């Protein structure tokens, strides 16, 4: 079982444009779709599509459109009532796959609601293989929320605690890293921010630099770093090595949720007993498949092509400071 927590879920509306985005102009949409979203929700959608037992935990009332949509789609979930409407986000996708996202803050969670949400996570996490802490934090939630959950989980369950994966950004991700999660999944920009690199673009173009930056995080206690680099592939770094995964070129339709699908691919491969490099291979295959689908559609395992993924062992020594 894989459990996810999405403290700031959303109703994601994706609008596909028939041409480039024209600021200040009136444009007609080619199509639009609405789907329940948030990183943890998307991960469970992808896992469920592949028959992997999973559960999405999120704050939200039973009649909220997001929870209604999850029930209609048959996505396993558990909501915690908050007496407020879950936010709606908008993504604009152009014909070349370029995506512009507009995210709103979300409803405030009180201290009591935060406590109840943590207790719900603890209740459902017992016996799980992984707990994924995913996405931004809503207003009112302290930046060390994910770190606090990680520590509480390990305090309660000890050696039987689920492995912890974190997919977030900014201060919440930095605080979570200090708690020593088993896996983090940053993109190039997030990895640069975590490690103090001023130019994220330099990472996207150089997987060895990505690996060196990730090695610094592994040295602090993070067990694995899965860095997704969009069309450039993905890099995995553990104490045992560093690898680059690259897929053949695809026709991108939407990058919304592609990173979430990558993490889902890694996790389903991991619980199947695959090696770290093979889990990276599946992560890259999942991400590419998601990017080739419209909106925030997630791929099933049968829609991915891991055999087409090229794996390269990265030799990062001698280790130089990443500037």
User: CA–CA separation, 192 vs 173, rounded Å?
Assistant: 12
Low-confidence stretches of the chain (pLDDT beneath 50): 318-323
Cβ(138)–Cβ(144) under 8 Å? no
Query: In a 3-state reduction of DSSP, which class is residue 209?
Result: helix
251: left (phi over 0), alpha (psi -120 to 50) or beta: beta
pLDDT of residue 230: 86
The per-residue pLDDT for range 117-160, each reduced to its tens digit, is 999 999 999 999 999 999 999 999 999 999 999 999 999 999 99
Residue 295 is predicted with a pLDDT of: 65
- Torsion sign (Cα): 265, 259, 69, 66: positive
What pLDDT sits at residue 316?
65
Per-residue model confidence (pLDDT) at position 319: 47
pLDDT of residue 265: 97
Tell me how crowded residue 315 is: count the other CB atoms within 10 A of its CB: 10
pLDDT tens, position by position, 42-91: 999 999 999 999 999 999 999 999 999 999 999 999 999 999 999 999 98
pLDDT given for residue 199 in this prediction: 81
| Ordered domains of the chain (ranges, CATH) | 2-313 (3.40.1190.20)
Pairing of strands 54-59, 77-80: parallel
- How are strands ordered across the β-sheet holding 87-93? 29-37, 10-17, 87-93, 99-102
Query: Is residue 67 helix, strand or coil?
Result: helix
**Cβ partners under 8 Å of residue 98, min gap 6:** 20, 21
Q: What is the pLDDT of residue 266?
A: 98
Half-sphere exposure of 232 (CA within 13 A, CB side): 15
**In whole numbers, what is the pLDDT of the chain averaged over residues?**
91
Q: 27: which residues sit within 8 A by CB, 6+ positions away?
A: 17, 18, 19, 21
């Amino acid at each position: 079982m894989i459990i996810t927590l999405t403290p700031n879920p959303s109703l994601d509306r994706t609008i596909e444009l028939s041409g480039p985005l024209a600021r200040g102009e009136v444009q007609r949409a080619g199509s639009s779709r609405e789907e329940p979203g948030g990183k943890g929700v998307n991960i469970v959608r992808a896992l469920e599509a592949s028959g992997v037992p999973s559960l999405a935990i999120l704050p939200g009332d039973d009649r909220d459109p997001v929870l209604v949509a999850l029930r209609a789609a048959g996505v396993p979930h558990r909501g915690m009532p908050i007496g407020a409407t879950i936010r709606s986000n908008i993504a604009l996708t152009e014909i070349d796959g370029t995506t512009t996202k507009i995210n709103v803050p979300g409803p405030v969670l009180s201290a009591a609601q935060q406590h109840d949400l943590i207790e719900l996570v603890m209740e459902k996490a017992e016996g799980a293989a992984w707990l994924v802490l995913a996405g931004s934090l809503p207003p009112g939630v302290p930046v060390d929320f994910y770190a606090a959950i990680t520590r509480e989980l390990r305090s309660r369950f000890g050696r039987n605690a689920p492995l912890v994966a974190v997919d977030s950004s900014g201060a919440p991700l930095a605080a979570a890293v200090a708690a020593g999660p088993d896996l983090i999944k940053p993109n190039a920009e997030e990895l640069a921010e975590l490690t103090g690199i001023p130019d994220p673009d330099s990472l996207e173009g150089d997987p060895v630099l990505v690996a060196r930056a990730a090695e610094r995080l592994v040295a602090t206690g993070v067990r694995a770093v899965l860095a997704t680099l969009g069309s450039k592939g993905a890099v995995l770094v553990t104490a045992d090595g560093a690898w680059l995964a690259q897929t053949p070129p695809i026709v991108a339709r939407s990058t919304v949720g592609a990173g979430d699908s990558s993490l889902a691919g890694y996790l389903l491969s991991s619980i199947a007993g695959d090696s770290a490099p093979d889990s990276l291979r599946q992560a890259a295959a999942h991400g590419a498949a998601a990017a080739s689908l419209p909106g925030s559609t997630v791929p099933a395992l049968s829609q991915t092509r891991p055999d087409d993924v090229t794996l390269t062992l990265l030799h990062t020594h001698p280790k130089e400071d990443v500037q």
